[in-house]
């Protein structure tokens, strides 16, 4: 005895809306015409990978604004490099303006007082870039535990407005 599903499938096949369409063979003329169309169509090469841009804007409880961004090229480096920016007394070069693509929160932040709304980094912010090589242990030294930096980034930069970042 057929199951309900088998009966339904039999019914669907018997009433196939495309009955006869699948059996219609491609004629030699149709094949030749198709090949002629292929001649004039240029191949599409694989497009270059889009540069990866990632901007994280996070606010620490102390009011420090942290801006992280990661830029990627066509070939991601296997070992991430981490660049940390500490405020110094010397006026820094103005960082290139960043356009946030999307915000990413990798881990929910611990319960704490709701931080102030993060301030956007202003052009006159005092920042200096210090680039260091580091492995993943460096990320754990960041004041925010949820700032997990992983993946294939070429670089990660931290910009602060305050000098109270402890790394």
Chain residues binding another protein by CB under 8 A are 4-5, 7-19, 21-26, 30-31, 34-35, 37-39, 41-46
Q: Give the helix, strand, coil percentages of the chain, each rounded to 5.
A: 15, 20, 65
Closer CB to another protein, residue 8 or residue 130? 8
Choice between 31 and 146, CB closer to another protein: 31
Q: Please state, as a whole number, how many other Cβ atoms lie within 10 Å of the Cβ of residue 127.
A: 21
Separation between Cα atoms, residue 13 and residue 50, nearest integer Å: 45
User: In terms of CB distance, is 14 or 96 closer to another protein?
Assistant: 14
Give least dist CB 50 to another protein, A: 15
Half-sphere exposure of 166 (CA within 13 A, CB side): 3
Rounded to whole angstroms, the Cα distance separating 50 from 73 reads 8
Residue 35 contacts residue 64 (beta carbons within 8 Å): no
> Least CB distance from residue 108 to another protein, whole Å?
25
Instruction: Closer to another protein by CB, 27 or 137: give it.
Output: 27
Query: Minimum distance between the CB of residue 26 and another protein, rounded to whole angstroms?
Result: 5
Q: Under a CB-based contact definition with an 8 Å cutoff, are residues 82 and 134 in contact? A: yes
| Cβ atoms of 161 and 69 closer than 8 Å | no
Q: State the nearest-atom distance from the C-beta of 39 to another protein, in Å.
A: 7
- Closest to another protein by CB, 40 vs 96, is 40
Q: In the bound complex, what is the minimum distance in angstroms from residue 30's beta carbon to another protein?
A: 8
């Amino acid at each position: 005895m057929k199951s309900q599903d088998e009966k339904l499938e039999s019914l669907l096949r018997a009433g196939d809306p495309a009955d006869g369409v699948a059996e219609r063979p491609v004629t030699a003329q149709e094949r030749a015409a198709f090949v002629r169309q292929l001649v004039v169509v240029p191949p599409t090469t694989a497009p270059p990978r889009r540069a990866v841009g990632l901007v994280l804007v996070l606010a620490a409880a102390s009011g420090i604004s942290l801006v992280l961004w990661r830029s990627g090229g066509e070939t991601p480096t296997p070992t991430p490099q981490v660049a940390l920016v500490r405020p110094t007394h010397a006026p820094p070069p103005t960082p290139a303006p960043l356009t946030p693509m999307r915000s990413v929160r990798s881990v929910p932040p611990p319960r704490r007082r709701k931080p102030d709304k993060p301030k956007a980094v202003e052009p006159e912010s005092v920042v200096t870039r210090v680039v260091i090589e580091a492995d993943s242990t460096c990320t754990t030294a960041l004041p925010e535990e949820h700032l997990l930096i992983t993946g294939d980034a070429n670089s990660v930069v931290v910009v602060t407005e305050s000098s109270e970042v402890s790394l």
